[in-house]
Amino acid sequence: MVTLRTKGKPINIEGHLVGKVSRDIEALNEHTFLLVDNVEQDIPTTKLLGVLTTQQEYKLKNDEKVVFKIPSLQHLENGDIVSVGNDGNINTLYRINSNHNTLLATERCNSNCLMCSQPPRDRNDIPILHEIHKQLIPLIPKDCIELGVSGGEPTLMGELFFSLMEQLKVELPNTEIHVLTNGRSFAWNHMAEKLGQINNRRLMLGIPIYSDYYQVHDYIVQAKNAFYQTILGLHNLSRYNQRLEVRIVLHKQSIPRLTKLAKYIYKNLPFVEHVAFMGLEYIGYTRKNIDKLWIDPYDYQEELSESVEYLASQGMHVSIYNTPLCVLPERIWKYARKSISDWKNDYLPECKNCTKLNNCGGFFTWNLKKHSEHIRPFTT
């Protein structure tokens, strides 16, 4: 896995500082942290935001902002963007060489899904995270291809959610913005209308639906009336010409009505731009609810094939995420995507000699502990 966090001893750090990192002294400015791996390196005290160093001791020359005694800086590349806290924590917010960057809007959520990969935390993190993002977004390269926004539930930011969406449109007009939301907040028309007024045609909302039957969906997300709110939210968003994606996580609770759900989507939500069928992540709540959720992907391949092929035959754009090729019928390989973010993507030892390796999306790192019993390398 890619390292995204580290920690050292802070000096003169107040609040959270956000800046790019560089090992090039000539590239420094007031928004840049100098990375110092060499204990002998001469460190300038002007034209920089601060110093991040692996040095075990540090003698202040002036009042520079420093984090020293960092175990390693090797995971950082010139141009990466980090936040540095007054506790010495250094979090990587944006990786310059990755197409899988995401802003964490909040860890709060109004659902409590059985298979949530990042269980919600009820703490007031919205103001600080929003402040960090306000500093981050202007530093992101203008040629950034795609940027995610996730949570928790981003719409719980309230007015700050729209502020964030507006800033993204202004600062990154050519970037595809992909917001993961449960969509429930948009059951209130004014929320959908306000998002529509921002009018960002590069914004897409990824919204989950887990069943065509309200009781099943509500049980999976552990929230009363969630199904009706989500469906109404989707229709409200459509009224304001928002780009929409439906996401379906595949597990024991969603598989029995999967083909009915596919038909429901085509009949009732024909305006959605994309439908993604997603393999289960073995992390977060999934681990404690595994008996309620686990079904070997090999055992639901017919239901998945029928659902995918039905939607595709109706002209809808369909994808399969998080699922190795060897547990899918060959006839639906064309819908399988390499979807797992690079920092959490891995393969089993037996995959190394597979002839389809370069075309296979592999596994989440944590799914190496819980995966199909039918993983087999292709030899031709």
How large is the average pLDDT for residues 164-188? Answer: 98
Can you tell me the distance from the alpha carbon of 244 to that of 274, in angstroms, rounded to the nearest whole number? 7
Q: Do residues 132 and 18 touch, judged by C-beta distance below 8 A?
A: yes
pLDDT digits (tens, 9 = 90+) for 293-325: 999 999 999 999 999 999 999 999 999 999 999
Q: Which helix (H) or strand (E) holds 190?
A: helix 189-198
* Alpha carbon 295 to chain centroid, angstroms: 24
Can you tell me the distance from the alpha carbon of 74 to that of 112, in angstroms, rounded to the nearest whole number? 37
pLDDT grade for 41, boundaries at 50, 70 and 90: low
pLDDT grade for 72, boundaries at 50, 70 and 90: very high
> Which residue segments constitute the domains of the chain, with CATH numbers given?
5-94 (3.50.30.10), 102-369 (3.20.20.70)
Q: Which two tokens stand for residue 194?
A: 């306000």
User: Is residue 59 predicted with pLDDT exceeding 90?
Assistant: no
The per-residue pLDDT for 39 is 62
User: Is residue 46 predicted with pLDDT exceeding 80?
Assistant: no
3-class DSSP assignment, residue 320: strand
* Alpha carbon 45 to chain centroid, angstroms: 37
Task: Name the one residue in this structure whose structure tokens are 């993983």.
Answer: 375
Nearest CA-CA partner of 205 in 215, 191, 221, 222:
191
Positive/negative CA dihedral, 54, 94, 208, 162 = positive
The per-residue pLDDT for 91 is 97
Please name the residues in contact with 168: beta carbons below 8 A apart, sequence gap of 6 or more. Answer: 137, 147, 149, 175, 177, 200, 203
Stretch among 55-64, 233-242, 267-276 having the lowest mean pLDDT: 55-64
The CA angle 37-41-45, to the nearest 5 degrees, is 105
The per-residue pLDDT for 44 is 67
Phi and psi based region of residue 210 (left: phi greater than 0; alpha: psi -120 to 50; beta: remaining): alpha
Q: What share of the chain is helix, strand, coil (3-state, %, to 5)?
A: 35, 20, 45
Can you tell me the distance from the alpha carbon of 204 to that of 325, in angstroms, rounded to the nearest whole number? 27
The CA angle 323-207-203, to the nearest 5 degrees, is 105
Q: Do residues 43 and 32 touch, judged by C-beta distance below 8 A?
A: no
User: Is residue 353 predicted with pLDDT exceeding 80?
Assistant: yes
Nearest CA-CA partner of 118 in 372, 344, 304, 325:
344
User: Is residue 241 predicted with pLDDT exceeding 90?
Assistant: yes
The per-residue pLDDT for 57 is 87
pLDDT digits (tens, 9 = 90+) for 100-116: 999 999 999 999 999 99
pLDDT averaged over every residue in the chain: 95
Q: Do residues 84 and 136 touch, judged by C-beta distance below 8 A?
A: no
Residue bearing the bigger pLDDT, 213 or 46: 213
How large is the average pLDDT for residues 209-228? Answer: 98
Can you tell me the distance from the alpha carbon of 289 to that of 70, in angstroms, rounded to the nearest whole number? 37
pLDDT digits (tens, 9 = 90+) for 5-39: 999 999 999 999 999 999 998 888 999 999 998 66
Q: For the residues of 215-261, what is the DSSP string, one character each? A: HHHHHHHT-TTHHHHHHHHHHHHHHTT-EEEEEEE-STTTGGGHHHH
How large is the average pLDDT for residues 43-59? Answer: 84
Entry pTM? 0.94
Q: Tell me the backbone φ, ψ of residue 343, rounded to 5 degrees.
A: -75, -10
